[in-house]
Amino acid sequence: MPSWFMPQASTSAVEIDNLILMITVIVGVWFVAAELVFFWLIWKFRARDGVRAQYVAGEAKSEKKWVSYPHYAVLVFDILILIFALRVWNNIKISAPPGEERVRIIAQQWAWTFQHAGPDNILDTADDIRTVEDMYVQVNRTYHFELHSKDVVHSFSVPAFRLKQDAVPGRAINGWFTATQTGTFDVQCAEICGIGHGLMPAHLHVRTAAEHQAWMAEVAGTGAAPAEAADMGTGEVLAHADTARVQMGAMQ
Amino acid sequence: MSAHAIAHEAHGHHEHADPGFFRKYLWSTDHKVIGMQYLFTGMFMAIIGGFTVYVFRMQLAFPGESVPGYGYVNATAYNSLITMHGSIMVFWVAMPVLIASFGNFLIPLMLGCDDMAFPKLNRLSYQIFLLSALVVLSTFFVPGGAFGGAWTSYPPLSASAAYNATPWGAPMWLIAVILEFVAFLLGGINFVTTAMNSRAPGMKMFDVPIVVWMIVLASLVFMGSVGPLVAGAIMLLFDQLIGTGFFNPNTGGDPILWQHLFWFFGHPEVYVVLLPAVGIVAEVMTVFSRKKLFAYRTVVYTALATSVISFFVWAHHQFIAGIDPRMAGIFTVTTLIISVPIAEMMFVYIATMYGGSIRLATPMLWALAFIAEFLIGGVTGIFLGASGADVYFHDTYFVLAHFHYTFFPIAFIGTFAGLTYWFPKMFGRHMNETLGKIHFWGTVVAFNAIFIPLFLAGAGGDHRRIFDYSAFPELASLQPLRQIATIALLVLIAFQPVFLFNFFYSMFRGKRATANPWHANTLEWAAPSPPPHGNFPEMPVVYRGPYEYSVEGREDDYWPQHVPPDDVTVDGPVEAPVAAGGH
Amino acid sequence: MSSSKPIATTRSVMNLPTGRLALWWVIASEIVIFGGLLGSYIMFRLSHDAWAEQAAITSTLAGATNTFILLTSSLSAVLAHQAAERGDGPRAAKMLRLTVLGGLGFLIVKSIEWTGEIQHGYTITSNLFWSFYYTAAGLHGLHVIAGMICMLIVARAAARNQELQRVEIVGLYWHFVDVVWIFLFPLLYIAK
Amino acid sequence: MAEHAHAHAHGAGHGDAFYVRIWAILLVLLFVSVIGPEFGIRVVTLITAFGVAIVKAYMVGRHFMHLGIERKWVVWILAMMMAFVVLMFAGIAPDVQLHNGQNWIKLYEEPAPGSGAHGH
């Protein structure tokens, strides 16, 4: 299960992992049962000399019940899974707890820019903090983020948070998270976005309140001028692509 | 040609009026030849698709190492390779082999007619398909390389060379896909018309073998779902070539529109290839269990229900793509509902074995493996259909392993079941059983060894389409899983020459087959092996359903569809001597 | 070649001639193609109010003329079918050629209209409305051309009283192309 | 029903004059749809444009394409295909047509009136 490999570093992580566990148990039982019946039938009805197969049309109700009862049961379990899946979905994507902090996340080929709202907690003011490839959040605070893309479709994915949302150019997409563990976690791009898709990591630093305040005091105001460091113009993109192509050609 | 000519030609037509190699094999309107053309083209494309996966799996397991037979893999090449692997395997392997090849070969034979309703349209369909295959292959050699925006081809990445850096590859890929769609629309219209109108006398709707039902339903699903994507592909092509802005947000277009148009087709497409495969499995399982199919009508109805519901589920591919989350809720419901008819269908297949006399010949092994493996693909789909869990699994290796557990059973296991089962009919000879079983076990074990580790990697948060994981320290511990998968892939590939050898050797040197070596009921076994041009010495008449095996009170445990009811001693056409003229 | 029809082609289990059955499936698949394109257009049209002003630029007169031409050519297509039913091949051929003439008229009006618009600077890349305008009408125009070619081929055989059942089939296709235009006309020209 | 020889049932009872009459009605409808927008009332325009288009398509389908006397399932097939289009529209419109979704807004702004055609 995910928690074997990944820390559960946000409130949604626990919720999603529980849902996954529940589905695993339900479909696991069904799967094992179906395969057991399957292999038992193969063994039980293997061809033997002098034993003829039976003629079973399967159209009579008394025969069909062997298929239709499991079938109704599948429906019942489907509904069970649905209820839980939709509840989790609702908690994560439809409704959101009130936001305590704001951050804007801007994706582009092939970098992440993070615009933290800064001490006043309002975006697009002079005390905004812009960082590239590093995002800083405070533990146990609910963040509302606004996701932008400058060029193609990207996806903001933080596996440790079980958080994933596509960034679509032309749209500002809202979401939220609440980190519950301190530490540094990977941010990945989860939608293919061109040559540098695999080289588009960022780091999400979750810190205690004291550490976070100290950091803010240190760097406040760097967002007033847009950080251009990460901007790779079209020309550069093509140059990058060209290099890649030359390498590829040389290898063929 | 007229019926008389066909009857006349049935024996020894090779000797006189030989139309020449070109007209017979390349320009033929004979449905069997066209089926073979699709089959061999599909096999060739599968080798290309297999080579691409070999290269990029090697890169994933041993990043930065030179791949034997290819060289170093960089990011551009990696993206091109995964894109080509996906699109070739879906559009140029699964579709032609499962629908076009089996459809062409089986529909006229199983329905008891001499050819497709429109033989020339059929030939045209293959030629357009061949052109599309050539176009997509040629993109490997154009400036900029092959398209690298994944087989889903999301704009704006796919819409502009400034983003994807493949000014030739992207539009050519799209043109190839459009051509392929046109080819399958023409082919599908032909299949549907033939199955509706050209059935043998006496063959009622529920006397049609399941595999024909399934291929026809698949063609219908394709026909109904591909239209919007054809329109979308034209729009995307204009975006690429003349700079319109249908999917460009800066001019008021919308990239999400493409995602919808794509998946409106893309999800039904899964059922387009699934249905023929389950049809093949139905034929094989009944013959090798000597059993009537359990609840024939239920199978047809569940297939119909699946086909219709498949139109209602497409947006589950886009749960986190920025679509309205309330709509995502609706699509969660429809997605889980579609598991109900599919589960029922699997139950019916399992129930078919009850009371049977199961003989584990190679085709049966493949058919059983299909059920066992597809169940894994089915149950893991529940995780992805449940929107809450999909937030985590979306675009991870879990998704990849899930759809390979559906597509591999469909496109390979199902195809192998069909090929080994109908091989005697296709070429008049038997394949070698021992080699067949070696190939079976090697392939199936290796297949599981590839994708079970990838399920775990996906559960660990491993994202897809990333050519080098060194930038993600959290995922470093998953490297052994990637290596196991790659090594298993090498094993899988190593076993395929066994099949190819068996296939081509048996085609010319295999044991000769009688007309009905498996003692099956359906009409294709009433024709000689291999069937001559025109198929049947005399056109068959149908008296009963296709699965009357082990009927009580009969000496034989099978009862072919075309044998008149009063005929108690089954002989005549069924035990007809080997047809003249080998392959 | 036409004498070598397989038995499959001549069977008619569904009590519908095979050609007509196939043509219905062609139309069915065309419905989704045009449906996808026009559906996308309508979505954008409803979300961009400013397109009304673009639609006002298109020439209702040209659109109406073309509607008139297509409706009339549909009439001659159905009259060709009537003639074919009576076994009057030459008259069917004549009517089909008249229909082709209608298609030609349609294309001429279309090209005059497009030339004017392009000269005024409204090209396919001007904005999304014009992109849809040229794409939808262009796709329809391709169908018109395809229909004309098929009709000429059918007319040639029909004039010699051969393959008369094809007259109806090609006519059905033509009516479908007409119906598509019937919807394109208000969508692109009238709704302002 | 199904036993009736259908191939030649078409057009039975209709002479050429019948089709000319249908054509004349279609021309009248065309005239209505062109005149409709002249009133400048939105509802009237919509009805004369799309309402009339549906009537016209119905008449062409029923009389010229003989769907009225064609097998019923043919009509059902065509209707089903249209239903798929409607389904597609219903599934896509909430995302593509709206400017404000449940958790997103579109950033695109219409160019100022009058500058449309020559925009990029």
What are the tens digits of pLDDT across the range B220-266?
999 999 999 999 999 999 999 999 999 999 888 999 999 999 999 99
For the residues B548-571, what does the mean pLDDT come to? 80
Residues of chain D with Cβ-Cβ distance to A94 below 8 Å are 102-103
For the residues A161-180, what does the mean pLDDT come to? 94
Residues of chain A with Cβ-Cβ distance to D102 below 8 Å are 94
Q: pLDDT: is B25 or A83 the higher one?
A: A83
Question: What pLDDT is stored for residue B362 in this prediction?
Answer: 96
% pLDDT > 70, chain C? 97
% pLDDT > 70, chain A? 87
A48 Cβ contact list (under 8 Å, min separation 6): B357
Question: What pLDDT is stored for residue B7 in this prediction?
Answer: 40
> How many CB atoms are closer than 10 A to CB C145?
13
Q: Looking at CA atoms only, how far is residue C93 from chain D in angstroms? A: 16
CA distance B186 to B99: 12
pLDDT at A133 over 60: yes
- In chain A, whose CA is at the least distance from the CA of D108? A170
Q: pLDDT: is D39 or A144 the higher one?
A: A144
**DSSP letter string over B246-287?**
TT-GGGT--HHHHHHHHHHHHHHHHHHHHHHHHHHHHHHHHH
CA–CA distance from A142 to each of A121, B292, B513 (Å)?
A: 12, 61, 72
Is the separation of the CB atoms in B93 and B44 below 8 Å?
A: no
Question: What pLDDT is stored for residue A238 in this prediction?
Answer: 43
For the residues B324-328, what does the mean pLDDT come to? 91
Q: pLDDT: is A230 or B441 the higher one?
A: B441
pLDDT at B463 over 80: yes
B194 Cβ contact list (under 8 Å, min separation 6): B107, B108, B111, B113, B116, B117, B118, C8
- Read off the pLDDT of residues B427-450 as tens digits, 9 standing for 90 and up: 999 999 999 999 999 999 999 999
Q: pLDDT: is A249 or A97 the higher one?
A: A97
pLDDT at D112 over 90: no
CA distance A163 to A176: 9
- Read off the pLDDT of residues B384-433 as tens digits, 9 standing for 90 and up: 999 999 999 999 999 999 999 999 999 999 999 999 999 999 999 999 99
- List chain C domain ranges: 64-192
Indicate the Cα dihedral angle B121, B123, B126, B131, nearest 10°: -100
> How many CB atoms are closer than 10 A to CB A38?
18
CA distance B121 to B34: 11
CA distance D48 to D43: 9
Which of B243, B300, B66, B210 has its CA nearest to residue B521?
Answer: B210
Interface mutation vs chain A, best among D99, D104, D108, most A CBs within 10 Å: D104
Cβ <8 Å between B254 and D94: no
For the residues B479-489, what does the mean pLDDT come to? 95
Q: Looking at CA atoms only, how far is residue B96 from chain A in angstroms? A: 27
Which of B386, B377, B256 has its CA nearest to residue B331?
Answer: B386
Question: What pLDDT is stored for residue D21 in this prediction?
Answer: 93
Is the separation of the CB atoms in A162 and A10 below 8 Å?
A: yes
User: How far, in whole angstroms, is CA B394 from its chain's centroid?
Assistant: 24
What kind of fold does domain B3-575 have according to CATH?
A: Cytochrome C Oxidase; Chain A (1.20.210)
The angle, 0 to 180 degrees and rounded to 10, between the axes of the packed helices C165-185 and D52-59 is 180
- Read off the pLDDT of residues B166-210 as tens digits, 9 standing for 90 and up: 999 999 999 999 999 999 999 999 999 999 999 999 999 999 999
Interface mutation vs chain D, best among A151, A156, A168, A171, most D CBs within 10 Å: A171
Interchain touch A–C (≥3 Cβ pairs closer than 8 Å)? no
Secondary structure class of A185 (helix, strand, coil): strand
Is the separation of the CB atoms in D54 and D33 below 8 Å?
A: no
Going A8 to A9 to A14 to A16, the CA torsion angle's sign is negative
Angle at B493 between CA B490 and CA B498, to 5 degrees: 135
Name the H helices within C48-127.
51-55, 60-85, 89-119
Q: Looking at CA atoms only, how far is residue B215 from chain A in angstroms? A: 23
pLDDT band at B131 (very low <50, low <70, confident <90, very high): very high
pLDDT at D120 over 80: no
C87 Cβ contact list (under 8 Å, min separation 6): C161, C164
Burial of B303 (0-12, 13-18, 19+ CB in 10 A): buried
Residue in B108, B197, B251 closest to C13 by CB: B197
pLDDT band at A252 (very low <50, low <70, confident <90, very high): very low
Question: What pLDDT is stored for residue B574 in this prediction?
Answer: 43
Question: What pLDDT is stored for residue A123 in this prediction?
Answer: 86
DSSP B396: B
CA distance A13 to B309: 32
Q: pLDDT: is C65 or B579 the higher one?
A: C65
Question: What pLDDT is stored for residue B18 in this prediction?
Answer: 63
Q: pLDDT: is B582 or D51 the higher one?
A: D51
CA distance B416 to B499: 9
* Of A51-65, A81-95, B309-323, C112-126, the least confident: A51-65
For the residues B55-62, what does the mean pLDDT come to? 94
* Of A167-181, A220-234, D79-93, the least confident: A220-234
Going C8 to C11 to C13 to C17, the CA torsion angle's sign is positive
Asked if B332 has any chain A CB less than 8 Å from its own CB, the reply is: yes
Is the separation of the CB atoms in B458 and B398 below 8 Å?
A: yes
Which of B429, B578, B541, B426 has its CA nearest to residue B12?
Answer: B578
CA distance B322 to B319: 7
CA–CA distance from D56 to each of B579, C64, C71, C182, D65 (Å)?
A: 58, 14, 10, 7, 12
B285 Cβ contact list (under 8 Å, min separation 6): B291, B293, B349, B352, B353, B364, B367, B368
CA–CA distance from A200 to each of A139, A204, B60, B61, B75 (Å)?
A: 24, 13, 17, 20, 12
CATH superfamily of A101-224: Cupredoxins -  blue copper proteins (2.60.40.420)
Interchain touch B–D (≥3 Cβ pairs closer than 8 Å)? yes
Residue in D84, D94, D98 closest to B224 by CB: D84
Question: What pLDDT is stored for residue B13 in this prediction?
Answer: 39
- In chain B, whose CA is at the least distance from the CA of C23? B189
Question: What pLDDT is stored for residue D8 in this prediction?
Answer: 43
- In chain D, whose CA is at the least distance from the CA of B314? D91
- Read off the pLDDT of residues C49-59 as tens digits, 9 standing for 90 and up: 888 888 888 88
CA–CA distance from D71 to each of A143, A252, B117, D7 (Å)?
A: 61, 59, 20, 11
CA distance B447 to B401: 11
Residue in D80, D101, D108 closest to B324 by CB: D101
* Of B88-102, C57-71, D97-111, the least confident: D97-111
* Of A14-18, A230-234, C152-156, the least confident: A230-234
Helix (H) or strand (E) run with residue A116 in it: strand A111-116
Question: What pLDDT is stored for residue B25 in this prediction?
Answer: 76
In our burial notation (b when 16+ CB lie closer than 10 A, e otherwise), range D42-81 reads eeebeebbbbbbebbbebbbebbbbbeebbeebeebbebb
Average pLDDT in chain A: 85
Residues of chain C with Cβ-Cβ distance to D77 below 8 Å are 24-25, 28
Question: What pLDDT is stored for residue D100 in this prediction?
Answer: 87
* Contacting subunits of C (3+ beta carbon pairs below 8 A): B, D
pLDDT at A92 over 80: yes
Name the H helices within B290-414.
296-309, 325-352, 362-385, 387-393, 397-408
Cβ <8 Å between C47 and D117: no
Q: Looking at CA atoms only, how far is residue D91 from chain C in angstroms? A: 11
CA–CA distance from A128 to each of A115, A207, B352 (Å)?
A: 7, 18, 67
Interface mutation vs chain B, best among A67, A176, A240, most B CBs within 10 Å: A67
CA distance B335 to C11: 40
- In chain C, whose CA is at the least distance from the CA of D112? C50
Secondary structure class of D1 (helix, strand, coil): coil
**How do A202-207 and A134-138 pair as beta strands?**
parallel
CA distance D68 to D57: 13
Domain C64-192: assigned CATH number: 1.20.120.80
Cβ <8 Å between B387 and A237: no
- Read off the pLDDT of residues C96-150 as tens digits, 9 standing for 90 and up: 999 999 999 999 999 999 999 999 999 998 889 999 999 999 999 999 999 999 9
Instruction: Give this complex's ipTM.
Output: 0.90
Question: What pLDDT is stored for residue A149 in this prediction?
Answer: 94
Residue in A12, A52, A93 closest to B357 by CB: A52
pLDDT at A251 over 60: no
pLDDT at A234 over 70: no
Question: What pLDDT is stored for residue B19 in this prediction?
Answer: 67
Which of C39, A156, A70 has its CA nearest to residue B348?
Answer: A70
> How many CB atoms are closer than 10 A to CB A235?
9
CA distance B217 to B310: 12
pLDDT at D2 over 50: no
Which residues partner with C120 through β-bridges? none
Question: What pLDDT is stored for residue B580 in this prediction?
Answer: 36
**Amino acid of residue B311:** F
